[in-house]
Amino acid sequence: MKLHEYQSKALLAKKNLPVPKGVKIDSEKEVPQALKALNTTRGVVKAQAYTGGRGKAGGVKLFENETEAIAFTKAMVGMTLVTHQTGPQGVKVEHILIEGATDIVKEYYVAILIDRAAAAPVLMISPDGGMDIEAVAENTPERILKLILPIDQALDKDLCNKAADFLGLETALYDEFAFVIRGLYEVFTENDAMLLEINPLVLTGDHHLSIIDCKFDIDDNATYRQLESGGNPNAEKTKAEIEAAQWGMTYIALDGKIGCMVNGAGLAMATMDSIKHYGAEPANFLDVGGSANEEAVAKAFEIISSDPNVECILINIFGGIMKCDTIAKGIIAAVKTVGLKVPLVVRLEGTNVTLGQELIKESGLNIISANSLADGAKKSVALLKN
């Protein structure tokens, strides 16, 4: 679940962390009142979108007066922001964060994220803030320090000082920096975060630290207890992905032409590998899980069929908890409801497989049976070439 910058900074402000005062607005008509609340005529207008690289894409603009702030806001609201992270489709901007100007002397990078190899949170810092951390890692990896953080404990003084020293902070700022990263770690743990990225953390003209930007991602598994954060659990999800999730299924869109319905992540990978082996690419895969009922299977078929890139559908199910006859009934019901616009290949194996195959055969529908995964993939690819 992702949070916008203004939502992330609100969480940080609750810990008295140094974030600039800002106002979230949705229209250029709100600019005068926002500037009045901020008591400034100089500042920055920032598009609120779930992506990095907003500045380079025109989503961050410095203004010197109210007229500029209004013009920048009007241009941003409703725009499609295209960055290196969004792809060519971009994301639509609906909200704006307007903040007063900050006198920036130096920029730093600070992030807390989950290191799966270490099975622990890690603090990742660099004195090269304001840049893409990927570029820093590739070109000057020695400019990045990673420190494994203790779980369920406050960060000790030695760790904080080691991080401050790596950033090149003056000794007079060590205590202030320790307060910042300890507060960030509290926010990270209390909100079940996967990533809390501050880029940049800056040294200001009055010799203090300030959090200028914040990216915050919350673990999807904790969505049920973190909804008060205001985050969007469906951020970056397509309509098909959202609909599948509502039925307890997982849908992933890809770039090929063969739609895949499977049950289980392992079977999904094997099915897609087989399709590629025989010379084609999967258009998507939809994992119906191990306990889907007839109605869910029918919905899965409907979702896959709605993808305009699909020119053939391969259903590859191993019946265990979900029996093959249940799957067959769901497929038959879906075909009768949605219609069969592209070739359909079905491979069933497992519990009640014979009954499932008989139901499909007796349905009278134009469904092609396969007796193995390889056979199903081969037939699906061959149908594309016809």
What does the pLDDT look like over 141-153, one tens digit per residue? 999 999 999 987 8
Q: Are 339 and 246 found together in one domain?
A: yes
- Pairing status of strand 344-350 against strand 312-319: parallel
Q: Is the pLDDT of residue 332 over 60?
A: yes
Instruction: For residue range 58-102, list pLDDT tens digits in order.
Output: 999 999 999 999 999 999 999 999 988 888 888 889 999 999 999
Specify the pLDDT at position 237. Answer: 58
3-state secondary structure (DSSP) of residue 9: helix
Q: Are 217 and 250 found together in one domain?
A: no
Q: Are 108 and 93 found together in one domain?
A: no
Given a contact cutoff of 8 angstroms between Cβ atoms, the answer to whether 343 and 383 are in contact is yes
3-state secondary structure (DSSP) of residue 47: strand
Give the other-Cβ count within 10 Å of 180's Cβ.
23
Q: Is residue 359 part of a domain?
A: yes
Q: Is residue 16 part of a domain?
A: no
Q: Is the pLDDT of residue 337 over 70?
A: yes
Instruction: For residue range 235-245, list pLDDT tens digits in order.
Output: 555 677 778 87
Q: Is residue 5 part of a domain?
A: no
CA atoms within 13 A on the CB side of 228: 5
Q: What is the CATH number of the domain that holds 82?
A: 3.30.1490.20
197 catalytic per annotation: yes
Q: Is residue 11 part of a domain?
A: no
Give the span between the Cα atoms of 182 and 166, in whole angstroms: 17
Stretch 158-180: mean pLDDT:
97
| Catalytic hit among 5, 197, 241, 294 | 197
Q: Are 176 and 40 found together in one domain?
A: no
Q: Are 197 and 222 found together in one domain?
A: yes
295 catalytic per annotation: no
3-state secondary structure (DSSP) of residue 374: helix
**Distances, alpha carbon 243 to alpha carbons 66, 125, 193, 289, in Å:** 43, 38, 25, 15
Q: Is the pLDDT of residue 183 over 70?
A: yes
Stretch 42-55: mean pLDDT:
91
Give the span between the Cα atoms of 261 and 91, in whole angstroms: 28
Indicate the angle between helix axes 373-385 and 265-277, nearest 10 degrees.
50
Q: Are 141 and 209 found together in one domain?
A: yes
Q: Which residues of 126-154 are buried (b: 16+ CB within 10 A; e: fewer)?
A: bbbbbbbbeebeeeeeebbeebebeeeee
Q: Is the pLDDT of residue 376 over 50?
A: yes
Among residues 56, 62, 58, 129, the alpha carbon closest in space to that of 98 is found at: 62
| 178 Cβ neighbours under 8 A, 6+ residues apart | 155, 157, 160, 161, 164
Q: Is residue 79 part of a domain?
A: yes
Specify the pLDDT at position 385. Answer: 64
Q: Are 171 and 257 found together in one domain?
A: no
Q: Is residue 6 part of a domain?
A: no
What does the mean pLDDT of the chain come to? 90
pTM across the whole model: 0.69
Q: How much of the chain exceeds pLDDT 90, in percent?
A: 60
Q: Are 166 and 282 found together in one domain?
A: no
Q: Are 113 and 224 found together in one domain?
A: yes
Lowest-pLDDT choice from 126-140, 239-253, 360-374: 239-253
Instruction: From 229, 261, 290, give the residue that closes a domain.
Output: 229
CA atoms within 13 A on the CB side of 186: 14
Given a contact cutoff of 8 angstroms between Cβ atoms, the answer to whether 167 and 125 are in contact is yes
Which domain range does residue 354 map to? 239-385
Q: Is residue 1 part of a domain?
A: no
Q: What is the CATH number of the domain that holds 109?
A: 3.30.470.20
Given a contact cutoff of 8 angstroms between Cβ atoms, the answer to whether 363 and 339 are in contact is no
Q: Are 170 and 282 found together in one domain?
A: no
Q: What is the CATH number of the domain that holds 293?
A: 3.40.50.261
Q: How much of the chain exceeds pLDDT 70, in percent?
A: 95
Q: Which two tokens stand for residue 35?
A: 């500037």
Specify the pLDDT at position 234. Answer: 46
Q: Where are the beta strands (DSSP E) in the chain?
A: 2-3, 22-25, 43-48, 60-63, 80-81, 91-92, 95-100, 104-115, 120-126, 145-148, 193-204, 209-211, 215-218, 250-253, 258-262, 282-287, 312-319, 344-350, 367-369
Higher pLDDT, 367 or 228: 367
Q: Are 205 and 311 found together in one domain?
A: no
Higher pLDDT, 167 or 307: 167
| Catalytic hit among 6, 50, 109, 251 | 109
DSSP labels for 186-207?
A: HHHHHTTEEEEEEEEEEEETTS
Instruction: From 184, 202, 229, give the residue that closes a domain.
Output: 229
Omega prior to 20 cis, within 30 of 0 = no
Specify the pLDDT at position 219. Answer: 86
Stretch 190-204: mean pLDDT:
94
Specify the pLDDT at position 283. Answer: 92
- For the chain, how many structural domains are there in total? 3
Q: Are 115 and 225 found together in one domain?
A: yes
Instruction: From 69, 100, 131, give the residue that closes a domain.
Output: 100
Instruction: For residue range 208-247, list pLDDT tens digits in order.
Output: 999 999 999 888 777 766 555 555 554 555 677 778 877 8
Q: Is residue 299 part of a domain?
A: yes
Instruction: For residue range 271-309, list pLDDT tens digits in order.
Output: 999 999 999 999 998 998 766 677 888 888 889 888 888
